[in-house]
Structure 1
């Protein structure tokens, strides 16, 4: 069975807290992963989700690595021809600028399931082509 790997990382501080932006993205990714599993199983593709926690030290060194998603080892923004940006965050992130994604004129702080689904389906299409 072919595997479609979805990796997401975000800041989790010493109190096991994350910001609202990352918490929202986490919920959206979980929903998208379940939907992709249902849709792709009949095609012989299993969906593997990896959720990675960034420490506060890692986050302070590279804040734009938080709330980052890869699908099939390729950044989400590459699949969607999106641009990355940044905006001030909150909570455990403090006043740091955190990752955003922009598609056209729409800017996303929380990555919606629809974007994860679209990128996942594009990646799955490549898997189907490569396994035949």
Structure 2
């Protein structure tokens, strides 16, 4: 499985290389002290802008990449709705999500039970219990 956050490392490396190329300008600025402060500020601003632009061009993680595999806790017990689907509410980090579960898993998904996200469809998570206790 590839690390979805690996994409975030390349722009910072590029920014560091560009900033490193501007460092000789600082050496020149030392020779002319009046220009030194202005050059230092320009180098700092250029590096910050490059880092910002490079990071803003990153693709956002999709909810699927971000959520599948995460663990959480059942906030409200799973119950069967009129269509026969088992629905409940889970807490993943600080967010509350609607979730579904397989019929075999649903009875054991009571409040406080630890779960893992196995899939996501729209804004509804599919979860299973972390352990298979009875």
Q: TM-score band, normalised by the shorter chain?
A: under 0.3
Given the two structures, how large is their TM-score scaled by the length of structure 1? 0.25
Higher relative contact order (CA 8 A, sep 6+): 1
TM-score (norm 2): 0.24
Higher alpha-carbon Rg: 2
